[in-house]
Amino acid sequence: MKKSILDCLILSILLAGGAVALPAAEVSGQSADSPLLMAQAPAATSNAAPAGARRGGQRRGPDLGPLPEIHAPVPNTLPGLLGKPLKWKSTGVLVAPQNDPSHYLYSVKDPTVFRYKDKWHIYATAFMVSGPAAAALQNPDAGAAAGARRGGGWNMVYLSFADWKDAPNAKLFYMDTVPGFSGYRCAPEVFYFTPHKKWYYIFQTQRPAYSTTETPDDPTSWTPPEQMFTPDIPTPRLPIDYHCIGDGEYMYLFFTGDDGNFYRSRTTYAEFPKGFSRPVVAMRGTRDTVFEGSITYKIKGTDKYLTLVEALSPTRYYRAYVADRLDGEWYPVEGFDTFERPFAGRNNVTFEDGVEPWSGQVSHGELIRDTDDERMILDPNKLLFLYQGISDADNRGDYGRLPYRLGLLRAIE
């Protein structure tokens, strides 16, 4: 493959541990397989994923400290339903893409969910085409639609409803219409931060960002996004799927790197949402086993923490890990640590009576929390898992245009 002088110069800087940021004009002419596109630092200039966010392959990044040991699974001594081989029943599709004259959605995914004022509230990622091109996609003129189909990018949506049976009829609100929320924004987490008496909205820009409100049921009320990391804080090549949890002293920010590692950063309650430390590798595996969509909970009535991480292969499923401290060692839970015996995956999910099986995987989701504050308390006797799914037949082609939908898993005896 022919490399330009600019390509070679930037690659040499990056391989030496440096960083390069280029304006969009410098990379717009590169092919999809250009080494420049694969190596450049992420730059969120639109709702298309940053050029560094290509999926797959090995990525170089900064040295984030020693790698922890990969532990053997520990026996499952967890309470309640968590202490048994899990079986789940799935609903049908509860949340699917909706279009309007200026938005054309391919998917709804990566949900965060909470209960507030007697309603369920969901913020989620959507891969969408916005503006005039969205109308073209809804135009029966095949030529206009073909041109528009080349566009699209990641942003978010919001919906609310009183009962899960009402979810399919809930109207989507498009977050890119809120000031400060246009461009690349995805993978949200929403929680109430007790010391500030405010709700926090954490999401990916590629680096972590936050907004706040006192009224999370009004999607227009969120403050303009701000960055959580200072510019000098290094990250892996592709930091993704941030989530926060607090232990009363520190607020922790966990995320994955699309590289087989699970990362940890923290700040004090007094400094939150600023003051985060340099990330370290909290746990590691392989890219097939520690991939993305992680979320961490405190198990109610115990001193244990539970982390769920989405595994990639042979198809997406969730594995479970436990620790005694948020800054401690994470251990796989025996019986929740393989494709054959997952925490949640195709091998322990069936569908409700009358529901045609619609997903062959369990991908990025959240368990329903016992409380909605920063402690992320999980009731081990009431397990509900809002997840993204897709049929095996549809799971092919361009990642952004894969037609992911949301459904709900209920743990059964």
Structure confidence by residue, pLDDT tens digits, 55-95: 444 456 788 989 999 999 999 999 999 999 999 999 999 99
> 238 or 29: which carries more pLDDT confidence?
238
Q: What percent of the chain has pLDDT over 90?
A: 80
User: Is residue 412 classed as helix, strand or coil in its secondary structure?
Assistant: strand
pLDDT of residue 35: 27
Name the burial class of residue 142, with classes exposed (0-12), middle (13-18) and buried (19+) by CB atoms within 10 angstroms of its CB: exposed
pLDDT exceeds cutoff 50 at 131: yes
User: Is residue 323 classed as helix, strand or coil in its secondary structure?
Assistant: strand
Domain residue limits, the chain: 5-41, 80-412
pLDDT of residue 65: 86
Q: Which two tokens stand for residue 151?
A: 């566009």
- In terms of Cα–Cα distance, which of 311, 300, 363, 368 is closest to 341? 311
Q: Which two tokens stand for residue 291?
A: 């991939």
Average pLDDT of 360-375?
A: 98
Distance CA(26)–CA(4), nearest Å, equals 12
Q: What is the pLDDT of residues 26-37, one digit of tens each?
A: 222 322 332 222
The listed CATH number (3.50.50.60, 3.40.50.720, 2.115.10.20, 2.60.200.20) that belongs to domain 80-412: 2.115.10.20
Query: How much is the mean pLDDT over the chain?
Result: 87
Average pLDDT of 312-332?
A: 97
Average pLDDT of 386-394?
A: 98
CB atoms within 10 A of CB 179: 10
pLDDT of residue 139: 78
pLDDT of residue 276: 98
pLDDT of residue 216: 98
Q: What is the pLDDT of residues 155-173, one digit of tens each?
A: 999 999 999 999 999 999 9
Stated pTM of the model: 0.86
Lowest mean pLDDT among 13-27, 170-184, 246-260, 302-316: 13-27
